[in-house]
């Protein structure tokens, strides 16, 4: 597999995973949870490193995942118990945890090979360099490809198996509670999936691109349809096409691949905002003029 294809495939798999979960976050008005988790997991990564003495991906993933879940718990706790607005709860939680992570790195920076850049800003251009090689010397391809593929399969199974419960707790929590579905349980289950996806994608594409992929394709799809299943499909398609076009834009400009993919996500959203037949500004003005 050549380098171009491995980068595009990895970006597309991560895009699809993020788009599926991002659609639920958009409709639950919790779009910035991904951003919160991407910053708040920093102390978890540092603690995992200090306890294990290893920068092994699995160790980092476990540490970040635990703090990611703790982040979602704190956001919900501040929202319900302290009666803060959701955006205020998210802002307080992630800035506080991120600050703790930065302080921990500054204290232990002389003893460990760890800094904000290496844990937060992955570089998708390096995906072809980190390959899996068997004991027999066989190159199985980029590790990020297997990780992102596994995460996508897990997310697909999660949504397919529990679609009804996720759908009801997203659109009508009161009705879901009335028929015995625990909204709290499915809230944390969804946040757990978001946490796992965000953290697992860090090393491959970086935290900033993960946030863009969680929000932008889902927001684009939201403008294009009122059907939720169609929205999920459009969000995955938008994420994949932005990955492909963003990669070739970066090659053409000789610039950042992650930045170009995020820029293409923004362009797609802008086009949907203007030309969407359902909620686009252009067609709404035409309909208003016709009446």
Question: Per residue in 238-261, pLDDT tens?
Answer: 999 999 999 999 999 988 888 889
For the stretch 138-161, pLDDT in tens is 878 888 888 889 999 999 999 999
What does the alpha-carbon distance between residue 43 and residue 49 come to, in Å, rounded to a whole number? 10
Q: What is the pLDDT of residue 24?
A: 92
Per DSSP, the three-state class of 174 is: helix
Q: What is the pLDDT of residue 221?
A: 94
What does the alpha-carbon distance between residue 126 and residue 99 come to, in Å, rounded to a whole number? 28
Give the number of other Cβ atoms within 10 Å of residue 102's Cβ: 16
């Amino acid at each position: 597999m050549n380098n171009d294809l491995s980068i595009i495939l990895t970006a597309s798999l991560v895009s699809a995973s993020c788009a599926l979960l991002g659609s639920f976050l958009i409709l639950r008005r919790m779009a910035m949870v991904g951003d919160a988790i991407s910053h708040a997991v920093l102390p978890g990564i540092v603690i995992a490193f200090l306890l294990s003495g290893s920068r092994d991906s699995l160790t980092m993933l476990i540490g970040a995942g635990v703090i990611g879940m703790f982040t979602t718990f704190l956001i919900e706790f501040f929202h319900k118990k302290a009666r803060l607005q959701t955006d205020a709860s998210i802002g307080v939680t992630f800035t506080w945890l991120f600050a703790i992570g930065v302080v921990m790195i500054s204290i232990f920076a002389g003893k460990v090979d760890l800094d904000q850049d290496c844990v937060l800003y992955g570089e998708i251009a390096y995906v072809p360099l980190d390959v899996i090689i068997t004991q027999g010397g066989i190159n199985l391809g980029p590790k990020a490809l297997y990780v992102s593929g596994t995460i996508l399969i897990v997310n697909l199974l999660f949504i397919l198996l529990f679609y009804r419960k996720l759908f009801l707790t997203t659109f009508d929590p009161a009705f879901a509670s009335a028929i015995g579905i625990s909204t709290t349980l499915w809230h944390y289950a969804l946040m757990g999936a978001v946490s796992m996806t965000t953290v697992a994608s860090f090393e491959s594409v970086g935290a900033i691109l993960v946030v863009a992929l969680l929000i932008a394709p889902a927001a684009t799809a939201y403008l294009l349809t009122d059907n939720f299943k169609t929205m999920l499909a459009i969000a995955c398609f938008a994420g994949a096409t932005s990955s492909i076009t963003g990669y070739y834009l970066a090659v053409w400009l000789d610039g950042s691949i992650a930045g170009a993919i995020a820029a293409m996500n923004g362009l797609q959203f802008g086009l949907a905002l203007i030309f969407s037949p359902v909620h686009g500004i252009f067609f709404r003005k035409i309909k208003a003029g016709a009446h």
